[in-house]
Amino acid sequence: MGLLSGLIGLTSDVDVDEVRRDLAPILLPDEEIALAFQVVRDLLVFTGSRLVIVDKQGMTGRKRYIQSIPYRSITMFAIETAGHFDVDSKMTLWISGQPPIERELSRRANIAGIQRALADGVLRR
């Protein structure tokens, strides 16, 4: 069971077709986007083989820093949920040979969906 079939019933926070059009230049010809989540201004995009993090920068968000992380290189991940007085949640990814990557998640982010997508991508490899 791959990422696409393992996430049946889980919905994205953003329109996957719109994300697919936007990321078409960097996707492989047969690479499918399974899920995409809006994370404050940024995007977490789960494909069949990697996690793509699109970090929008600057005032307009036209400048973007795009990270492509193969699931096989993620050694561990953690999601910290927001408490009563916390504004945001946090996601931390540990990548082989790299310092951890941390991203703030909004309180409204689909925490369970992101956790499940990471688990499916990382643990099923």
Segment 41-69 mean pLDDT: 88
Whether residue 121 contacts residue 3, with contact meaning beta carbons closer than 8 Å, is answered with yes
Segment 16-22 mean pLDDT: 89
Domain that holds residue 88: 3-123
Whether residue 34 contacts residue 23, with contact meaning beta carbons closer than 8 Å, is answered with no
3-class secondary-structure state, position 99: coil
Segment 32-41 mean pLDDT: 83
What is the reported pLDDT for 8?
44
Q: What is the spatial distance between Cα 11 and Cα 75, in angstroms, rounded to a whole number?
A: 25
Residue 75 sits at φ, ψ, to 5 deg, of -90, -25
CATH number for position 32 = 2.30.29.50
Number of domain units in the chain: 1
Question: Which is more confident, 11 or 22?
Answer: 22
Q: Per-residue pLDDT tens for 76-123?
A: 999 888 776 666 788 899 999 999 999 887 767 778 888 888 998 898
Whether residue 93 contacts residue 79, with contact meaning beta carbons closer than 8 Å, is answered with no
Segment 45-51 mean pLDDT: 92
Q: What is the spatial distance between Cα 34 and Cα 12, in angstroms, rounded to a whole number?
A: 8
- Report whether pLDDT(23) > 60: yes
Residue among 72, 74, 54 at smallest CA distance from 64: 54
